[in-house]
């Protein structure tokens, strides 16, 4: 990523944050409870207190850490002045102030310089456990064999801990998965079946992460023979950044049509959005997105009539 371009986006995002926190009545009320305006400006100590209260309430930081608002003051200052702003910090602002969906979209569009996909899941399914990480990059490729069956899914992923003590990643997958091979970064742990049809396995990390630390994962999923699958879905609950999805079809027969699709549920329902994608001569179709959040994305395809 171009460093100068990213710094310009950080500065623009900081300016947008100042505008929102200083003009939206709900956001102003949230921080003014903890301190009035200072010479007509946003009270950064009060903003830091709002974020600290959110982190305490969510269990991300212990409520015994009484100096947290003071520690966050510099982070708030750097963000609002456009000096430094990470995706994780932007998430904290958005969550702590319960920002409206349109404000979230504008902030992330400004920060990333592109449009992502978010908030298509209106009724989220239950979670096997609270999400304690964010994905900072994801590359996933699905392989469909020459007999038109989904055979393999390979994933390369970098996760960042949102709090101390993150020791595993919960991998949600299809019921037709017969084997998961963790190539790098951990090992398979506990198995879950929950939320009326969701299936997941823990990938236990090689070492426990502290808040802000990252880990790389590479894993492969294999599927039962003869599944005849014609779509793949990848859910994203929390924000997942830098997403590349691809599906590769082995000869001799390629699909007539391939769509990148967006759904409102992990399993059920028709797509809420379809985009026809070009199948390359190699048999691969792909999509790149700056981020996804609270959505389900993937591919659908149609085979030629025989």
Tens digits of residue pLDDT in 110-149: 887 777 888 899 888 888 888 889 899 999 999 999 999 9
Q: Do 103 and 200 belong together in one domain?
A: no
Q: Do 102 and 182 belong together in one domain?
A: no
Count of alpha carbons within 13 angstroms of residue 186, beta-carbon side? 28
Residue 118 lies in a domain: no
DSSP string, 224-240: -TT----EEEEEESS-E
Q: Do 183 and 61 belong together in one domain?
A: no
Residue 203 lies in a domain: yes
Predicted confidence (pLDDT) at residue 195 exceeds the cutoff of 90:
no
Q: How confident is the model at residue 9 (pLDDT cuts 50, 70, 90)?
A: confident
Q: Do 170 and 246 belong together in one domain?
A: yes
Residue 48 lies in a domain: yes
Q: Do 83 and 175 belong together in one domain?
A: no
Mean pLDDT (the chain, rounded): 91
Structural domain total, the chain: 2
Q: How confident is the model at residue 1 (pLDDT cuts 50, 70, 90)?
A: very low
Summarised one tens digit per residue, pLDDT across range 267-282 is 999 999 999 998 998 8
Residue 38 lies in a domain: yes
Rounded to whole angstroms, how far apart are CA atoms 89 and 160?
A: 12
**pLDDT in the model for residue 274:** 93
The pTM of the full predicted model, rounded to 2 decimals, is 0.72
Summarised one tens digit per residue, pLDDT across range 216-252 is 999 999 999 999 999 999 999 988 988 999 999 999 9
Q: Do 180 and 230 belong together in one domain?
A: yes
Residue 250 lies in a domain: yes
Q: Do 178 and 276 belong together in one domain?
A: yes
Q: How many CB atoms lie within 10 A of CB 104?
A: 19
CA dihedral 122, 123, 125, 131 (to 10 degrees): 50
Q: Do 83 and 167 belong together in one domain?
A: no
**pLDDT in the model for residue 267:** 92
Residue 121 lies in a domain: no
Could you tell me the residue range of the domain that residue 182 belongs to? 133-302
Residue 128 lies in a domain: no
Rounded to whole angstroms, how far apart are CA atoms 133 and 156?
A: 16
- Is residue 53 within 8 Å of 96, Cβ to Cβ? yes
Q: How confident is the model at residue 184 (pLDDT cuts 50, 70, 90)?
A: very high
């Amino acid at each position: 990523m171009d460093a100068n371009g990213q710094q310009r986006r950080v500065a623009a995002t900081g300016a947008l944050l100042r505008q929102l926190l200083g003009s939206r009545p709900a956001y102003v009320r949230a921080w003014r409870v903890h301190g009035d305006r200072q010479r007509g400006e946003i009270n950064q100590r009060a903003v830091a207190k709002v974020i600290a209260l959110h982190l305490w309430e969510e269990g991300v930081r212990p409520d015994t850490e009484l100096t947290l608002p003071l520690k966050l003051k510099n982070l708030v200052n750097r963000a609002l002045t456009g000096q430094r702003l990470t995706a994780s910090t932007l998430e904290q602002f958005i969550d702590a102030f319960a920002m409206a969906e349109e404000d979230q979209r504008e902030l992330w569009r400004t920060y990333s310089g592109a449009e992502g996909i978010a908030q298509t899941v209106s009724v989220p399914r239950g979670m096997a456990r609270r999400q304690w990480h964010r994905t900072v990059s994801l590359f996933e490729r699905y392989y469909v064999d020459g007999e038109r069956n989904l055979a393999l899914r390979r994933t390369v992923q970098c996760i960042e801990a949102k709090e101390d003590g993150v020791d595993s990643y919960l991998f949600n997958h299809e019921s037709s998965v017969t084997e998961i091979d963790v190539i790098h970064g951990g090992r398979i742990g506990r198995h879950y079946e929950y939320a009326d049809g969701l299936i997941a396995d823990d990938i236990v990390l090689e070492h426990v992460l502290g808040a802000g630390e990252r880990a790389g994962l590479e894993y492969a999923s294999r599927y039962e023979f003869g599944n005849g699958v014609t779509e793949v879905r990848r859910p994203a609950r929390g924000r997942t950044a830098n997403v590349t999805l691809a599906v590769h079809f082995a000869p001799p027969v390629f699909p007539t049509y391939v769509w990148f699709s967006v759904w409102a549920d992990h399993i059920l329902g028709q797509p809420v959005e379809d985009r026809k994608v070009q199948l390359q001569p190699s048999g691969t179709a792909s999509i790149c997105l700056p981020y996804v959040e609270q959505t389900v994305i993937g591919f659908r395809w149609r085979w030629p009539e025989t």
